[in-house]
Amino acid sequence: MFRLPFCPVPTDDGAFSPSKLALSLATTKVTDFETVAGPCVAGEERILMVCTEERNMTMANGKKFSTGNHPVEMLLPMMHLSNAGFCIDVVTPTGAPVKIEMWAMPEEDDAVMAFYASFKDRFDNPGSVTDFVTTSLNDGFPYVGVFIPGGHGAMLGLPDNPEVGKLLRRCHGRDLHLLAICHGPAALLAAALPDPAGATNPTGNGEDFAYSGYELAAFPDRIDRQTPMIGYMPGQLPWHFGEKLTALGMRIVNRKADATCHVDRKLISGASPLAANDFGKLAVKELLADRNG
């Protein structure tokens, strides 16, 4: 069947993946990943990676966008963290498999594909945020940071999850590093939800929001409003995370979907897939610097 290059492509489950034009403009078969030699923590410290388990996002027009975590934004930072000796534990809200935007997979990048294969079982069988918060969120847990990869899937099931909010508030309270790239910062909205135990804090208006006053790099709302024109999504988003974070007192430093990376205290952020390699290197640099005092 002939399909115009800017038309989103139907999927088997009734959703749409990006058009051929959007894929040619926004994805790559080979990444800019580069191995960095340097200090190593010898596998004694851990990163908790919080991923989405949801696939389809219902757009403002009712059509569904086939999404998940963006593989480049997830895998390149993981590779840098792993090469530096950090162990990475994978969780989703309920322990269901990680959803990945396979249409963005850099299939001709042998190093990335080999790393993906080495983690595939953990993507298919992750831990549960709920179990983690119940059993492991205590004074003795060996984590030095939380990583939230991007992809529009980060807007599904994370920003509205009270358990994710409890995890992020504990991360902030213990002065741990929080790594978030592209749409991953949408999950920070969970830190403004009421505590699952019934506490009234935070208020949700920014007054007690742990990351109020922070700056970050993230995918700009204004670019999200433009991407349907090239068929990246089958319609406008139902909501925009940048607006909500700004209302809670955060400030996004970039206006383009570019390679911008940013550090504000223990929050390490990146703007888009173009930032993934530098974001991973920056995360390792900050983690090691903090470790070495």
Which residues are catalytically annotated? 182
Q: Alpha-carbon distance 45 to 14, whole Å? A: 42
The shares of helix, strand and coil residues in the chain, as percent rounded to the nearest 5, are 35, 15, 45
Q: Alpha-carbon distance 60 to 39, whole Å? A: 47
Q: What torsion do the CA atoms of 174, 175, 176, 179 make, to the nearest 10 degrees?
A: 130
Q: Alpha-carbon distance 233 to 58, whole Å? A: 10
CB 277 within 8 A of CB 189: no
Rounded to the nearest angstrom, the gap between the alpha carbon of residue 21 and the centroid of all alpha carbons in its chain is 24
Task: Retrieve residue 33's tokens.
Answer: 């990943």
